Chain A
Amino acid sequence: MDFFDITFLTQEVIPHLNDGILDSLALIIPAILIGGSFGILMGIVRVFAKKPLKIIADGFVAVIRGVPLTIQLMILYFGLPYIRIYLSPYTAALLAFIFCTGAYQSEYIRGALLSIKQGQIKAGQALGMTKSQIIWSIIVPQAIRRAIPGCGNEIIYLIKYSSLAYIVTHIELTGEAKIIASRTFRPTEVYLVAGCYYLFLITIATWLLSKLEQKLSIPGFSKANS
């Protein structure tokens, strides 16, 4: 058996990892979409909502950011049955990723919202716009552009942390690799190839994000007191 021989890779490793990457994407894509919306909502709540709601949102984010994702996963999957809530491994993992990415995204959204100059709001008011018109057509479009680099980073993190689904026994790319490695006793090769899959995902995501950033870029905007 040669190290990295082609038949081993094409027959034993790649087909299974291809299944695995689809399972990973089935976690990552909904988590980005739902978690992203959740993060924007939380960011807006943390800046504009009334006191009690704001405190709840701030507290939620502080807890999520302060506790390891591993523990959050364990609580959702192994812990919740204690109070008679039973989640499937997939649901538990997805939920944890949504909370986690949402909380971190909301930090960037919040920072971006707070970075919008007071004058922009005053100019909107002076034109007779209502509070919600000002939020949606002046503050949010500017804030999104400021938040994109940070939120993009979070998406990259999410792709990597999706491997933690393994901990709650949901089999995706990492889980698949673990199974092949234990069966074939060739862990180095299998894990290296699995690593390449993640590098591939992340490189694609980075490329897409930079395209998005370019598309939304406005002359002199990102540089202006960012």
Chain B
Amino acid sequence: MTNENNIKNALLSAQNISVTLGNRLILNDVSISVGAGDLKVLIGPSGAGKSTFLQCINQLIPTDSGSIYLEGERINMANNASLCHLRQNVGMIFQDFNLFDHLTAVENISLALRKVRNLSKEDANDRARKELNRVGLANRAGLYPAQLSGGQKQRVAIARALAMDPKVLLLDEPTSALDPELVGEVLAVINDLAAHGMPMIMATHQMDFVRSLATEVLFMESGSIIEQDKPHVLLASTSKSRTLDFCSKLNNLRQVAEHSPEITCTANSNT
């Protein structure tokens, strides 16, 4: 497939994105495209630029060069309306949830429905409750973020993104701020989304998840994409990929962590 076809057929495509901060090159000419049913995973050490890359895709961080295409249409990044259009169609899940602290779970979800989609209060609340139900939190609708566990917060955040009917979902290490015992409930929701064919780009180090569900793995280091292939290719035990090397180190760390609890937190924050 040529590059142009790639852009035209993809739901969402980011091409040749570069970002510099001061003198440092944070992202160096990186590209990604997602089509129907894709689940692309970004892997790499911290500081590799995964989070920056994800936030460039919906333009939360402005890019120095490169372009974003939504369903083949190039986004005019200087135009606010066009940026809002992009973001409405691209859902985002943050590492630290970013729920609105002054609103209840259901209000967190209905706010954008009312303001951006111009739904009536009743319609927005109905929709919000449906989404909460979908992530298994129907009985937590009236609670404030401070009254929810980390896993519940992240599920509300996912419901909030889904309520906007996004064409693509971006997930920035959605489980890495969670206590180990809460990771499962969030992954179950994401699993469910993948099973329903929601196109996603996700930064994660949950390797079992990556192995079984990712359609493509992109390994990033120092702002560049170094390797890019199907997970069974990159993670095959015979492969000499950087990805495999990195993941085996990750596994070692995790095994150590399981034996000595005091390392758990460092292992988590690094993954």
Contacts and interface: CB of A to CB of B under 8 A. Distances in A.
Please determine if A and B sit in direct contact within the complex, based on CB atoms under 8 angstroms apart: yes
A123 B100 contact: yes
B189 to A, nearest CB: 18
Interface in B101-145: 101-102, 111-112, 115-116, 143-145
Contacts of B96: 119
Interface in A117-152: 117, 119-120, 122-131, 133, 137-138, 141-142, 145
B85 A128 contact: yes
A221 B91 contact: no
Contacts of A126: 58, 60, 87, 90-92, 94, 161
A218 B107 CA distance: 13
A128 B90 CA distance: 9
Given A130-B80, A133-B116, A220-B144, A125 B100 contact: no
Contact of A128 (B101, B102, B164): B164
B102 A119 contact: no
B233 interface: no
A85 interface: no
A119 B146 contact: no
Given A123-B98, A128-B84, A221 B112 contact: no
A127 B98 contact: no
A1 interface: no
Given A119-B94, A119-B98, A221-B102, A127 B146 contact: no
B99 interface: yes
Contacts of A131: 80
Interface residues of A, number: 24
Contact of A122 (B88, B89, B94): B94
Contacts of B147: 219-220
Nearest to A133: B115
B88 A219 contact: no
A123 B84 CA distance: 13
Nearest to B92: A126
Contacts of A221: 101-102, 144, 146
A224 interface: yes
A142 B98 CA distance: 13
Nearest to A145: B102
Contacts of A142: 100-102
B160 interface: yes
Nearest to B88: A128
Contacts of A138: 100, 102, 111
A218 B60 contact: no
Nearest to B112: A127
A130 B88 CA distance: 11
Given A120-B100, A127-B116, A128-B86, 5 more contacts: A123-B98, A125-B87, A130-B80, A141-B102, A219-B143
Identify the 6 closest CB pairs spanning chains A and B, nearest first: A220-B146, A128-B88, A126-B92, A123-B98, A119-B98, A127-B112
